[in-house]
Amino acid sequence: MFGITPFKKNEVAQTGDVVDFYNLVDNFFNDRQFPMMSLKNDTFKVDVKENDKEFMVDAEVPGYEKGDIHIFYDNENLMIQVEKKEEKEEKSEKYIHRERSFSSMQRGIYLPNVLEDQIKASFENGVLKITAPKGQAPESKKEIPIE
């Protein structure tokens, strides 16, 4: 007679010599075991507001210093990059303990018709504030004279 195997989501189901490969991989890479591998932890929070005069961007980057943050505006895209390198070394009579870490994140935000030379940024208490004044929109239709 056939037996019934209960279905348990996200658990490895093994019946005889067969292993459910897909659940095995899901279980290995789940958020509880490897919280740093989750995509939700690989970026920083950004709020973008707009009024008639400017765009206002607030980015939360706690744990970073002002020198770790780089801002670029190119081809109507505002790029915010943060990088952090840390080295730690402990020496004792019997051992040397060294740790190195590197983290890098970036976000791109589409901001059309911005006056590039008037973009301003400030950083305080882990919050980066960027104001990008709006400029005149380029004409969408322009007649080209024939010579």
pLDDT for 104-124, tens place per residue?
Answer: 889 999 999 999 989 999 999
For residue 125, pLDDT over 50 is answered with yes
| Whole-angstrom distance, CA of residue 46 vs CA of residue 76 | 17
* Predicted structure pTM score: 0.61
| Whole-angstrom distance, CA of residue 51 vs CA of residue 56 | 8
For residue 96, pLDDT over 70 is answered with yes
Instruction: Name the band, by pLDDT with cuts 50, 70 and 90, for residue 78.
Output: very high
Domains of the chain, start order = 45-133 (2.60.40.790)
Report pLDDT for 88: 85
| Whole-angstrom distance, CA of residue 9 vs CA of residue 16 | 19
